[in-house]
Structure 1
């Protein structure tokens, strides 16, 4: 098991280095262009050249990357080119908002996907039809359309929830939950659709296996059979789909944050990209990369625990 985890850690580290280097190379290729974005179009060529020198943008790209990577290891993500604010400080106020949205969505997605998928595979009927409807709805209707419909229905027509804004958990737990209710529901439709359909397929495939029919012939009730045997073997593909859902969820969350005016990573990366604030963009990319890698690594480890055969690679 240790070797299995170590192998996945090395892969995750390699992917992190590749993605961050490519992003860094794309963002930092034109040092003079970055300096001009910082100073404005009215700056002279001499001022632009001096600013590029001051920011260290005239050094070889690999030297800049290694220097930046050393700072990342120390927890220093540099400072904004525009405001001088440390990137870590800016992220510290934004990350809790985005993580709250994503974690709540992933927890509810996992619960609903397992319950709906397993029930639909085991009993079929109206539960299966509801799952098919949610799958079609999630695939056909974009999340921002669902978000606007929810705002009109439950924030304007019937003012049950706030249309915009965010309340910190430490200030008011109920207000925090209320401020995230509509954004989370906006994301849930799409994430449940893909994940529940995958769980349904995995459970249905497992139920058709010979050992399950043998256990049923011995009179084992459906509930113990489902929880002790079927879900354990069907969880592997479902966990992989949930980890892949994380990729789409992170991107969708940026749009949902903009619609509901949530002060998360979405607003930060959009404003930083438009202003040409490269260190701030790099900081958000590193956060996104770490989040995705952690989720995928956790999914791989859980699959290895549930299915020891997957460790043999």
Structure 2
């Protein structure tokens, strides 16, 4: 297991470096730059050149990246030239919103999806066909459309939940939960559909194997067979789906945050890109990459726990 962890850590460090470099290079290829955004449409060539020099935009790209990387390694992500705010401070302020959406959606989708998958694998019949229909609907409906429908139904018509905004947990735990219900519900449908079908298919495959018939013949309780043996053997592809779902939610929250006017990292990334705010873009990209690294690392550890063969290099 130790060698597996060290190998994954080495890959993770390389991934962070590559993503930060590619983000820097791709942003430099987009039309316009930070200096033009700050100066607006009316500026003199002399003023433009002076501001570029002040922002170090006149340096070669690799020199700019090396300067950013040197500061980033010390924990300094720089300051936004557009807003004047510290990049680390602004990301820390918005990170909680995005994590609340992503983790809340993951928990809801995992509990409901796996529960439905196990139930339909055991019961089958109409319930199994209902899950198949749910999967098709869940895959077809985009999250932002579901978000708009939920706002109309539960915020405008019934007025049960707030239509927009985010309430910090420390300010009001009840308000925090209420502000997350609709966005989490909109984001969870796709994950529930995928996990329910994956769990059901995996469980049906395991329950048909010879060792399950042997366990039943030896009088092992059905509950133990389902949850201790069948679910664990079917769990590796389910864990993979959970990891992929969590990573995909980082991009999926962008539109949902916009619909519910939530101050998360997705909106910050879009805003920074339109303003050519390179330090802020780099900070958001680095944060997203670190989250992906942590998720992949957790999935690898789960593989090692569920299947000891994975630990062997």
After TM superposition, list the pairs within 5 Å mapping 1:1-313 onto structure 2.
Answer: 1-29=1-29, 33-313=33-313
- What does the per-residue CA deviation read over 1:233-291, in whole Å, with 9 as the maximum and x for residues that have no partner? 21111111111112321111111110011111122122212222121122111111111
**Larger relative contact order (CA 8 Å, sep ≥ 6):** 2
Contact 1:29/1:61, CA 8 A, preserved across alignment: no
For the residues of structure 2 that align with 1:125 and 1:204, how far apart are their CA atoms? 13
Which deviates further from its counterpart, 93-102 or 124-133?
124-133
Question: How far does residue 34 in structure 1 lie from its aligned partner after superposition?
Answer: 3.2
For the residues of structure 2 that align with 1:291 and 1:46, how far apart are their CA atoms? 42
Contact 2:33/2:276, CA 8 A, preserved across alignment: no
Change in Cα spacing, 1:31 to 1:160, as seen in structure 2 (3 Å) is closer
Contact 2:138/2:189, CA 8 A, preserved across alignment: yes
Could you list the runs of 4 or more consecutive aligned residues of structure 1 that deviate by over 4 angstroms after TM superposition? 29-32
Q: CA RMSD in A?
A: 1.7
- What does the per-residue CA deviation read over 1:64-98, in whole Å, with 9 as the maximum and x for residues that have no partner? 22221222222211111212211111112111111
Which deviates further from its counterpart, 58-67 or 153-162?
58-67
Contact 2:32/2:276, CA 8 A, preserved across alignment: no
Structure 2 length-normalised TM: 0.95
- How many residues are matched? 313
Change in Cα spacing, 1:31 to 1:130, as seen in structure 2 (3 Å) is closer
Structure 1 length-normalised TM: 0.95
Change in Cα spacing, 1:30 to 1:49, as seen in structure 2 (3 Å) is farther
For the residues of structure 2 that align with 1:121 and 1:13, how far apart are their CA atoms? 41
- What does the per-residue CA deviation read over 1:16-38, in whole Å, with 9 as the maximum and x for residues that have no partner? 21111111111135797332223
Gaps of 5+ in 2: none
For the residues of structure 2 that align with 1:38 and 1:132, how far apart are their CA atoms? 53
For the residues of structure 1 that align with 2:126 and 2:171, how far apart are their CA atoms? 42
For the residues of structure 1 that align with 2:95 and 2:164, how far apart are their CA atoms? 18
For the residues of structure 1 that align with 2:242 and 2:44, how far apart are their CA atoms? 51
